[in-house]
Amino acid sequence: MYLEEIFGLKGKVAVVTGGNRGIGQVVAEGLARAGAEVIILSRSGAEDTLKKISDAGSRGYHIKTDVTSEESVAEAFRQIVERSGSIDIVFNNAGICLHKDTLEASVEEFRRVVDVNLTGEYIVAREAGKIMMEKGIQGSIINMASMSGSIVNIPQWQCSYNASKAAVIHMTRSLAVEWAEYHIRVNSLSPGYIATPMSVDTPKELKEAWMPLIPMHRMGKPEELVPAVLYLASNASGYTSGSDVVVDGAYTCV
Ligand SMILES: NC(=O)c1ccc[n+]([C@@H]2O[C@H](COP(=O)([O-])OP(=O)(O)OC[C@H]3O[C@@H](n4cnc5c(N)ncnc54)[C@H](O)[C@@H]3O)[C@@H](O)[C@H]2O)c1
């Protein structure tokens, strides 16, 4: 009862971008378990995630969306308001990573990473904030950053990704201050290496190089991010805004 009062999300409408797989899928299931209706915005279908949401005893649906397109995101949010009546929580998660030496990566590739990871999250947060303000919703926006926004990963070079995630952390702080008067909270989540399709497909040698650098000597599981998201999404974090919550097996401490 006590935990449900603080962390429970019954009656809340949550949006998860890139929720068709990886971290987004696991977090979508966690939000559903906590009682939220969960809408998945992704470029491809999300049948597996929708099944997990319904198995968790909640409701949800999918809207095909490209987060880099203002029109696509605005249309998705319009449909959500029409169908679900509110947008209380946004897990702004869609993202891509490029491992390439800077001089080998093209400017176009740099732009693409920034377009999805930073501008995409900006578009999603902006559309969500607009609706929250219009409807007087005291919402919570959780932007997906990364420990790469605070440290430089080695041995792989990923300048575009690191720069995009650092910008997400400061965009989060900027929106938190700008929207505080509307009681809209904006926080970011910075995971370390998490075992998902994004990282599981990385070459074995690279992962072997990472292990000694992680004080816990293992990658995290997507499930280990869910409690942090529930904290940021729920009443539990009512006085928390502009924070970057780091879940990285202590990587950034050394
Ligand atoms: N896996 C990790 O180790 C790790 C660590 C720190 C941060 N992250 C961040 O977590 C988020 C999710 O990563 P993941 O590991 O689950 O990766 P993933 O590749 O499994 O999932 C990324 C999701 O984003 C979606 N996406 C990409 N571009 C999109 C677009 N233009 N429009 C809509 N959806 C789009 C993909 O389709 C996919 O569903 C990313 O932002 C990533 O940077 C991941």
pLDDT digits (tens, 9 = 90+) for 188-197: 999 999 999 7
Kindly state the average pLDDT of the residues 202-227. Answer: 96
Q: Is residue 247 part of a domain?
A: no
Q: Are 37 and 12 in contact (CB under 8 A)?
A: yes
Shortest-distance Cα residue to atom 25 of ligand 1: 18
Structure tokens at 190: 């910075």
Q: Is residue 73 part of a domain?
A: yes
Host H or E run for residue 157: none
pLDDT band at residue 10 using 50, 70 and 90 as cut-offs:
very high
Question: How far, CA to CA in Å, does 220 sit from each of 100, 145, 186, 194?
Answer: 24, 15, 24, 4
Q: Are 97 and 113 in contact (CB under 8 A)?
A: yes
Shortest-distance Cα residue to atom 17 of ligand 1: 198
Closest C-alpha among 93, 88, 73, 69 to residue 143: 93
Task: Count the domains in the chain.
Answer: 1
Report the alpha-carbon distance of residue 56 to residue 68 in Å, rounded: 30
Catalytic residues: 146, 161, 165
- State the distance between the two ends of the chain, measured CA to CA, in whole angstroms: 39
Q: What is the CATH number of the domain that holds 228?
A: 3.40.50.720
pLDDT band at residue 201 using 50, 70 and 90 as cut-offs:
confident
Closest C-alpha among 184, 214, 226, 233 to residue 26: 226
Kindly state the average pLDDT of the residues 2-16. Answer: 97
Q: Are 145 and 189 in contact (CB under 8 A)?
A: yes
* Phi/psi of residue 122, nearest 5 degrees: -65, -45
Collapse the DSSP code of 15 into the 3-class scheme (helix H, G, I; strand E, B; otherwise coil) and give the result: strand
Q: Is residue 186 part of a domain?
A: yes
Q: Give the tens place of pLDDT for each residue, 91-142.
A: 999 999 999 999 999 999 999 999 999 999 999 999 999 999 999 999 999 9
Check pLDDT > 80 for residue 16: yes
Q: Is residue 147 part of a domain?
A: yes
Amino acid making up residue 46: A
pLDDT band at residue 198 using 50, 70 and 90 as cut-offs:
confident
Structure tokens at 31: 């939000």
Q: Is residue 251 part of a domain?
A: no
92 alpha carbon to ligand 1 midpoint, in Å?
10
Per-chain mean pLDDT for the chain:
97
199 alpha carbon to ligand 1 midpoint, in Å?
10
164 alpha carbon to ligand 1 midpoint, in Å?
13
pTM over the 0.85 mark: yes
Check pLDDT > 80 for residue 199: no
Q: Is residue 252 part of a domain?
A: no
Q: Is residue 225 part of a domain?
A: yes
Q: Are 185 and 128 in contact (CB under 8 A)?
A: no
Full residue range of the structural domain in which residue 53 is found: 2-241
Structure tokens at 229: 């998201």
Instruction: Give the number of other Cβ atoms within 10 Å of residue 147's Cβ.
Output: 20
Q: Among 196, 206, 211, 226, name the best residue to mutate to test ligand 1's pocket (greatest count of ligand atoms within 8 A of Cβ).
A: 196
Q: Is residue 248 part of a domain?
A: no
